[in-house]
């Protein structure tokens, strides 16, 4: 489904719940927001929706819609197809003295993080085809999911779809899914208890690896980022994609140069040109990137 609700004619969603996802030691504020959706609004895993914050900007114009990756499956966390979940980081900016810069504050993220059950939210969408699950041969297609912070949202929806829900999709899925997630501190590991449960219950078919930058070191003694994990597992991942796996990237664009470098190195060792290989993977629908 695409744009069942337009930005100019949004629908009303009602807040079912908002919960904090990270500990107080972790930097920032990230929340899990569950909304009940208007009738007739449908979406699939990997899509995004627009939220239109209330009020007007400094020029008196309505606020622009903001896009958020959906963190739940098509059935929602309520399992009835009537809700949608978002993973939202409150956008805050501080000056050199550590004071918050008011005019740079994220209007929409702040609005979502502060919502209370029963309040209403204007939504539109869904949008996006880049990050959706493979349409063909999904049951036998391994997935490699690489993300930072709230970029974990689509991967939570994939993992719930294939490893948690009692649906035909999860019963048929026989392949392996690997998640690589980068966060600053342990208290910022989003949805870790859910992923732990999937690891235990999946018989080795779901595996999560974490790069916790302020607590772990890479091989060179520097901070451990998600791209360092990719370097470590590069050979394995390359072979998986060459075989029949599909790879997804979601999160901060800063992770991509290191990731591309890792794959470049592997290709060089094999006497291949990475740019050509990446184009080939893109054409085959194996390489999906949504970074911001």
> Binding site for NADP(+): residue ranges?
69, 89, 150, 183-184, 213-214, 251-252, 290
The residues facing 11 across adjacent strands are: 123
Tell the burial category of 203 from Cβ atoms under 10 Å away from its Cβ (0-12, 13-18, 19+). exposed
Q: Could you report how far apart the first and last alpha carbons of the chain are, in Å? A: 23
176 touches 233 (CB < 8 A): no
CB 235 within 8 A of CB 268: no
Which one is catalytic: 68, 180, 225, 248?
68
Taking the C-alpha atoms of residue 243 and residue 287, their distance in angstroms, rounded to an integer, is: 13
Strand partners, 83: 36
261: tokens are 């470098």
Please tell me the chain's helix, strand, coil percentages from 3-state DSSP, rounded to the nearest 5.
30, 30, 40
Identified catalytic residue from 36, 48, 50, 69? 69
CA atoms within 13 A on the CB side of 92: 13
Give the span between the Cα atoms of 13 and 147, in whole angstroms.
28
Between CA 22 and CA 58, with CA 89 as vertex, the angle to 5 degrees is 145
Q: Please say whether the beta carbons of 163 and 202 come within 8 A.
A: yes
Annotated binding site: 69, 89, 150, 183-184, 213-214, 251-252, 290
To the query of whether residue 69 is one of the catalytic residues in this protein, the response is yes
| Dist. CA 240–CA 164, nearest whole Å | 24
d(CA 151, CA 251): 4
Respond yes or no: is residue 290 known to be catalytic: yes
Phi, psi of 220 (to 5 degrees): -90, 5
Has 50 been annotated as catalytic? no
Assess whether 225 carries a catalytic annotation: no
Q: Active-site residue 261, yes or no?
A: no
Phi, psi at 272, each rounded to 5°: -115, 155
Residues designated as active site: 68-69, 250, 290, 292
């Amino acid at each position: 489904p695409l744009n069942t609700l337009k930005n100019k004619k949004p629908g009303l969603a009602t807040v079912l719940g908002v919960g904090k996802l990270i500990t107080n030691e972790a930097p920032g504020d990230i929340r899990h927001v569950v909304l009940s959706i208007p009738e007739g609004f449908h979406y699939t895993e990997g899509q995004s929706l627009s939220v239109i914050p209330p009020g007007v900007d400094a020029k008196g114009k309505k606020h622009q819609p903001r896009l958020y990756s959906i963190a739940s499956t098509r059935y929602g966390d309520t399992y009835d197809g009537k809700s949608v979940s978002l993973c939202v980081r409150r956008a805050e900016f501080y000056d050199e003295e550590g004071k918050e810069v008011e005019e740079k504050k994220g209007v929409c993220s702040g609005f979502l993080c502060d919502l209370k059950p029963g309040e209403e939210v204007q939504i539109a969408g869904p949008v996006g085809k880049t990050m959706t699950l493979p349409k063909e041969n999904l049951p036998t297609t391994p997935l490699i999911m690489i993300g930072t912070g709230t970029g974990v949202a689509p991967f939570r929806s994939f993992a719930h779809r294939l490893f948690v829900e009692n649906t035909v999709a999860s019963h048929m899925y026989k392949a392996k899914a690997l998640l690589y997630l980068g966060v600053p501190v342990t208290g910022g590991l989003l949805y870790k208890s859910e992923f732990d449960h999937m690891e235990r219950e999946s018989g080795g078919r779901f595996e999560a690896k974490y790069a916790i930058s302020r607590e772990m070191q890479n091989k060179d003694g520097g901070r451990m980022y998600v791209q360092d994990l990719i370097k470590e597992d590069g050979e394995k991942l390359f072979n998986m994609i060459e075989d029949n796996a599909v790879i997804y990237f979601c999160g901060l664009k800063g992770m991509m140069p290191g990731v591309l470098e890792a794959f470049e190195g592997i290709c060089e060792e094999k006497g291949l040109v990475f740019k050509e290989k990446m184009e080939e993977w893109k054409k085959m629908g194996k390489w999906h990137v949504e970074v911001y």
